[in-house]
Amino acid sequence: MRRTRAGADRATFPPMTPVRTVLFDLDGTLIDSVRLILDSYHHTLAAHGLTPRTDEHWLRGVGTPLSVQLAEWGHDPAALNAMIATYREYNLANHDQMVTVYPGVVAAVEALRAAGLGTGLVTSKNRHGALRGLTLVKLERMMDVLVCADEVTNPKPHPEPVEKALALLGADPRATVYVGDSIHDMVSGRAAGVRTAAALWGPFAREHLEDATPDYWLETPGDLLGFIPSGESS
């Protein structure tokens, strides 16, 4: 795990403050669901007779809710709702066959919890979809709280989802890190006053996230163990 120079110099995140809470994004961070997400968007546009978009187009919005990704059609609420329903039907029908956990994630989260750190999920999926993914990879009991898109007024990149998780946990922002794979995660966490960690095993390369200046660069899930305070690892 490497910390950026900007993160090390920022007074609000003193290096002597140990991490006590780790918040996670879901898609592209804990579970490898990106191909399913992209295929679901492609299927949705095709099913509604709309001009296709590239993988790159949809990737730019990964980490934001469906209503944001499909905002181009938001002028017609009925059409937008129909598209969201099509997306979810396809996504759920193919979910268990296409979604996997990133190697090393389960062991790393188990180690964090064994060391006494709090954990939480902050995702742009609704609760039903988030629980489906967590349950599939046996992570549902490893999250102390879940904050999902259907439980906030302002989704990521707004700070509200991270702030809500902090409030539910009673966690100190200065001792909290938010781990995510997208720039939306980094912006949300930074705005909420927590440290941010970029998960480079997801779909985005370091170059895509550098402008968000995350405090930590995580090359592999094993780097999460670096958040365990010295002397508390098992």
**228 three-state secondary structure:** coil
Amino acid identity, residue 185? Answer: D
Kindly list the distances between the CA atom of residue 72 and the CA atoms of 62, 76, 80, 152, 188, in Å, as whole numbers in the listed order. Answer: 15, 9, 9, 22, 23
Give CA 119 to chain center in angstroms: 13
Amino acid identity, residue 232? Answer: E
Kindly list the distances between the CA atom of residue 22 and the CA atoms of 32, 102, 168, 225, in Å, as whole numbers in the listed order. Answer: 19, 17, 13, 11
Kindly state the helix (H) or strand (E) to which residue 79 belongs, with its residue range.
helix 77-98
25 is catalytic: yes
Region for residue 170 given its phi and psi (left: phi exceeds 0; alpha: psi -120 to 50; beta: otherwise): left
- Residue among 25, 27, 215, 223 flagged as catalytic: 25
Can you tell me the distance from the alpha carbon of 182 to that of 9, in angstroms, rounded to the nearest whole number? 23
Task: Cite the active site residues.
Answer: 25
